[in-house]
């Protein structure tokens, strides 16, 4: 790329802004707001007032779509947008949407659709980053979740999780996006149920990736703790095969091996803790609701695992983030 010609005016402008006395530019900014300075072009306005986060997000999406934007202020016009430019724009956009207000502005600025469209991009790195941006934008943000759901993205995210055409890194990031979408959103959970999403999570629990299995177990634990009807959720997980698989996966003699070649038979400690945390939440929440709960054989399976855990030297309930009293209450809840 050819270097931009030296522009002494721009250099002088930057020097003046950087060395201006505090507050000296406020009167000028006010005049600009009132439209009294038509002599100042767009570049000068940006230099004086700065680029807003909303404009930065728009510029990121423009670059992602292959449109050149001089985001670095080099003065270069209409240069070719490289793959590296686009990936950097994704990374910059992800950092911007960490801010809740910026994430909410995605809808106002019409940016959700072009972002979501890239969940099916041919470039795997772009798909991964699109999942990342979406997941970050909707995380713990009810307004952004609602705006995201208006585009019905859950079928696409579900297909990313279950497709063997996508590598483990993409599937893991798709799970991040799904988790951020479902947590604290009954509307998203309901839509996920309509799509038979629990069978999608069953596929994730059967995935060779131990990381994806652990992320799935953690999501289930969170959903059970937040469910408006824990017994209904438990019934769905039982009917879809998720609950039976979780129980068998705690025993190395019955668990599905992990690893690309299926050569890891041992149960991952972190995964086991997340499944147990799900079971603790299940017993606690269904007890609060006063109906549903684990059934006879399910309780027997859990008691076996609990007994094996307690036989381990120096094992403590704190490893699950539980006080001793909570652990004892859980044990009472799995009695016949």
Cβ-Cβ contacts under 8 Å for 190 (sequence gap 6 or more) = none
- In eight-state DSSP terms, residue 267 is P
Q: State the pLDDT confidence band at 70, using cuts at 50, 70 and 90.
A: confident
Question: For the chain, what are the domain ranges?
Answer: 50-195, 198-259+266-310+323-336
pTM to 2 decimal places: 0.84
Q: How far, in Å, are 78, 285, 324 from residue 317 at the CA level?
A: 61, 19, 6
Are 317 and 326 within 8 A, CB to CB? yes
Residue 45 phi/psi, 5° resolution? -60, -45
182 burial via Cβ count (<10 Å: 0-12, 13-18, 19+): buried
Three-state secondary-structure class, residue 264: strand
Q: Do 130 and 168 touch, CB atoms closer than 8 A?
A: no
The yes-or-no verdict on residue 163 having pLDDT over 50 is: yes
Residue 276, token pair as written in the block = 């147990």
Residue 22 has pLDDT above 80, yes or no: no
pLDDT of residue 180: 98
Q: CA 32, CA 43: separation in Å to the nearest integer?
A: 13
Sign of CA dihedral 135, 137, 142, 145: negative
Q: Which residue has the tokens 């910026």?
A: 102
- Which range has highest mean pLDDT (7-11, 197-201, 270-274)? 197-201
pLDDT, residue 173, reads 98
Q: Which of 12-26, 112-126, 228-242 has the lowest mean pLDDT?
A: 12-26
Q: Is 192 exposed, middle or buried (CB count within 10 Å of its CB: 0-12, 13-18, 19+)? A: buried
Q: Are 191 and 154 in contact (CB under 8 A)?
A: yes
Structure tokens at 203: 């596929």
Query: What is the mean predicted confidence (pLDDT) over 281-292?
Result: 94
* Nearest-angstrom CA–CA distance, 15 and 30: 21
Domain 50-195 in this protein, CATH class:
mainly alpha
Shortest CA distance to 299 belongs to which of 282, 320, 324, 316?
282
Q: Smallest Cα–Cα separation from 177: which of 203, 226, 144?
A: 144
Averaged pLDDT for residues 20-44: 58
Percent of the chain with pLDDT over 70: 85
65-79, 233-247, 291-305: range with lowest mean pLDDT? 65-79
Q: Is the pLDDT of residue 21 over 70?
A: no
Percent helix, percent strand, percent coil in the chain, to nearest 5: 65, 0, 35
> For the CA atoms of 295, 298, 245, 214, what is the dihedral angle to 10 degrees?
100
């Amino acid at each position: 790329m050819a270097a931009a010609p030296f522009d002494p005016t721009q250099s002088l402008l930057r020097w003046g802004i950087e060395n201006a006395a505090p507050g000296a530019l406020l009167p000028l900014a006010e005049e600009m707001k009132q439209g009294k300075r038509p002599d100042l072009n767009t570049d000068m306005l940006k230099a004086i007032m700065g680029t807003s986060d909303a404009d930065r997000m728009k510029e990121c999406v423009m670059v992602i779509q292959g449109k050149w934007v001089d985001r670095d202020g080099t003065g270069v016009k209409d240069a070719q947008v490289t793959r590296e430019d686009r990936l950097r724009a994704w990374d910059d956009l992800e950092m911007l949407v960490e801010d809740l207000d910026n994430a909410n502005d995605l809808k106002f600025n019409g940016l959700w659709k072009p972002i979501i469209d890239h969940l099916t991009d041919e470039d795997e790195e772009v798909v991964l980053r699109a999942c990342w941006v979406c997941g970050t934008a909707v995380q713990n943000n009810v307004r952004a979740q609602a705006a995201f759901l208006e585009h019905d993205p859950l079928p696409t995210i579900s297909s990313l999780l279950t497709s063997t055409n996508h590598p483990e890194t993409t599937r893991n990031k798709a799970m991040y996006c799904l988790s951020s979408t479902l947590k604290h959103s009954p509307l998203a959970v309901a839509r996920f149920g309509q799509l038979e999403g629990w069978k999608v999570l069953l596929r994730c629990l059967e995935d060779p990736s131990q990381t994806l299995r652990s992320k799935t177990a953690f999501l289930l634990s969170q959903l059970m703790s937040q469910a408006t009807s824990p017994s209904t959720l438990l019934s769905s997980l039982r009917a879809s095969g998720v609950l039976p698989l979780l129980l068998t996966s705690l025993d190395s003699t019955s668990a599905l091996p992990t690893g690309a070649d299926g050569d890891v038979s041992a149960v991952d400690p972190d995964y086991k803790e997340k499944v147990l945390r799900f079971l603790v939440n299940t017993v606690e929440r269904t007890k609060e609701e006063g109906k549903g709960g684990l059934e006879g054989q399910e309780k027997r399976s859990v008691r076996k695992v609990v007994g094996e855990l307690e036989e381990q030297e120096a094992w403590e309930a704190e490893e699950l983030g539980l006080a001793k009293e909570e652990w004892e209450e859980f044990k009472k809840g799995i009695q016949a």
